[in-house]
A and B are shown apart, each in its own frame.
Chain A
Amino acid sequence: GENVEQHPSTLSVQEGDSAVIKCTYSDSASNYFPWYKQELGKGPQLIIDIRSNVGEKKDQRIAVTLNKTAKHFSLHITETQPEDSAVYFCAAMKSNFGNEKLTFGTGTRLTIIP
Chain B
Amino acid sequence: NAGVTQTPKFQVLKTGQSMTLQCAQDMNHNSMYWYRQDPGMGLRLIYYSASEGTTDKGEVPNGYNVSRLNKREFSLRLESAAPSQTSVYFCASKEIAGRAFGETQYFGPGTRLLVL
Interface residues in chain A, defined as those with a beta carbon under 8 Å from any beta carbon in chain B = 1, 6, 9, 32, 34, 36, 41-46, 49, 51, 89, 93, 95-102, 104-107
Contacts and interface: CB of A to CB of B under 8 A. Distances in A.
Residue in B54, B105, B109 whose Cβ sees the most chain A Cβ within 10 Å: B105
Contact of A32 (B31, B50, B58, B103): B103
Contact of B42 (A34, A41, A49, A105): A105
B97 A44 contact: no
Interface of B: 4, 31, 40-45, 48, 50-51, 54, 56, 58-59, 90, 92, 94, 97-100, 103-110
| B interface: dominant SS | loop
B50 A99 contact: yes
A66 to B, nearest CB: 15
B56 A99 contact: yes
Contacts of B42: 6, 89, 104-107
Which 3 pairs show the lowest CB-CB distances between chains A and B? A97-B98, A43-B107, A104-B42
B51 A98 contact: yes
A105 to B, nearest CB: 6
B100 A95 contact: yes
Given A43-B108, A99-B50, A106-B42, A49 B103 contact: yes
Contacts of B92: 43
Contact of B43 (A51, A89, A93, A96): A89
Residue in A45, A51, A99, A105 whose Cβ sees the most chain B Cβ within 10 Å: A99
B107 A44 contact: yes
